[in-house]
Amino acid sequence: MNRTVTRRILWGLVAAMLGLASSTTTALERTSPSTADHERFKALQGPFASGPKVTEACLKCHTEAADQLQASIHWTWEYLHPETRQLLGKRHVVNSFCGSVASNEPFCTSCHTGYGWKDMREAPPVAGNRVDCLVCHDTTGDYWKSPTGAGHPVYDMLDLGDSSSRRPPDLAQIARNIGPTNKQNCGSCHFYGGGGDGVKHGDLDSSLIDPSFSLDVHMSPEGADFACADCHTTSAHSVSGSRYLAKARDTQGIDVPGHTDFTRASCESCHGVEPHGSAKLNDHVDQVACQSCHIPEFARGGVATKTWWDWSTAGRLGEDGKPLTIRDDDGNLEYLSTKGSFRHGENVAPEYRWFDGQVRYTLRSDTLDDSRQPIEINKLQGSHDDPNSRIWPFKIMQGKQPYDPVNQHLLVNHVYSANNDTALWTNFDWTKALKAGTEYADQPYSGEFAFVETLMHWPITHMVAPAKDALRCSACHAREGRLAALTDFYLPARDRSIWLDRAGWSAALLVLVGSLAHAGGRILTRRRRKRS
């Protein structure tokens, strides 16, 4: 082979390697470059007097976006469960944190994806410009909503005399720098549910904005660096992965074109139904959710989650007649006159339940049995005998909530009002607050109230640890292991069967007797041979 031919071959190999590297880099880019530069759009130059004015500019090009979003649960806060037929969604359910949205709208709808929904008794606004595009597509991190503005951002300086007061967002600047949703967008509401960072879910808090690899292998920049939308796939502004219709067991497996259920909100959609190299571990997949082993604890990122909320103690004031704020030794809120008493936890081990994906909620119209406390705000469906059920990890939230002991139902708690003294956070008077809340929601109320202990389940699906930190076999296969509360099936090393134990010991004894007899026979035979 002469030098010219050799040189051509070498250059060909180099070119092929460069081409491969280039195509690989392109494939690994997280998001495709936008085909539009929003900085150059005349409609987005502003200035904008309000959020709805920004949306009007967005809709000039994105003509279908408002209709799409307004058909989603992010907008309606309403969901009719196809199996239980319960009407759910934030508009209807009660939770064990703030209670009900009804009568507290300007405060609660600060996390609605729209502007100006002030009355939960009516459907959300229908005008397209009431959709808030910026809350999900801001890439500057400068967009923020008023906590009591019914979804609107702050438009004026809150305190002109305070130079440290947070400035209103520059709507035009943000509108010219929109992009795909990121962790900050989703986290601005979902990390702060229940009234503070990490309060509600336990596996969702601000530590997931830039998590370490040990906290979450999927969301960490050292790992897959996923945005929320990488798993919670979206079509026409409808986001997959709702907890109102959870998929407890994904038999579809890896999500690829032609073999997809149009969601990647399950472990199996990327890892398949036989994700381990060990057949023994894969044997567990049918009955144990991946999260049960791979999320050994939640609230691991340095942000505590609330585990107990006792409303019955709210209203106590200091000696000076002013509201109290008391913190525990770790700096977490322990008592507020406005909200009552709390407990928090970090690095919390989940509790485990059989779960088939269905949940039956205790709604405010449902009748309670206060002789059987705690009342389950959401009751999980599933069992060992149900092939659709698997063992899932949960955060258990407990506390005390107001209820009507005569009519036996949970009461609407009116906590916030901007213009009168009917709300608990203003008057610290339960009698006034419950009267106002029930009248607003048109809820039957005897006029008598007490506090009932409640319990709520929150599925744990985030904060996935590295494989080396997954639970060991002995965490569950032990007498007092993590599955000690699940008593409807036999678990080796945890459970005992007297007949199985007897059979095992009998077999061992027979082996021992047989071995001794065999050894004795060999010894006698050897001695006879020596004598002969």
Burial class from Cβ neighbours inside 10 Å (0-12, 13-18, 19+) for residue 524 reads exposed
Instruction: For residue 24, tell me if it sits in a domain.
Output: no
Give the 3-state secondary structure of residue 427. helix
Query: Mean pLDDT by 10-residue block, N- to C-terminus, for the chain (532 residues)?
Result: 44 40 44 85 95 97 97 96 94 93 90 94 96 97 91 83 80 96 95 95 97 98 95 92 88 82 86 94 96 98 98 96 96 97 98 96 96 96 96 98 98 91 95 97 97 97 97 95 94 85 88 92 86 75
Instruction: For residue 486, tell me if it sits in a domain.
Output: no
C-beta contacts of 476-483 below 8 A and 24+ residues apart: 482/349, 482/352, 483/352, 483/391
Instruction: For residue 94, tell me if it sits in a domain.
Output: yes
Instruction: For residue 394, tell me if it sits in a domain.
Output: yes
Q: Tokens 């239980």 belong to which residue?
A: 84
Distance CA 54, CA 49 (A): 8
The alpha helices in 304-343, defined as continuous H runs, are none
Instruction: For residue 395, tell me if it sits in a domain.
Output: yes
pLDDT of residue 462: 97
Task: Provide the token pair at 21.
Answer: 């590297």
> Range of 98's domain?
78-111+180-475
Give the 3-state secondary structure of residue 259. strand
pTM for this one?
0.87
Length of the chain in terms of residues written = 532
- Among 486, 485, 308, 286, which residue's Cα sits nearest to residue 386? 286
Instruction: For residue 341, tell me if it sits in a domain.
Output: yes
Identify the helix (H) or strand (E) that includes residue 314.
none
Distance CA 486, CA 351 (A): 10
Q: Tokens 């470059």 belong to which residue?
A: 33
Distance CA 77, CA 89 (A): 5
DSSP string, 443-462: ----S--EEEEEEEEEE--S
Tally of domains within the chain: 1
Instruction: For residue 307, tell me if it sits in a domain.
Output: yes
Instruction: For residue 184, tell me if it sits in a domain.
Output: yes
Distance CA 85, CA 79 (A): 9
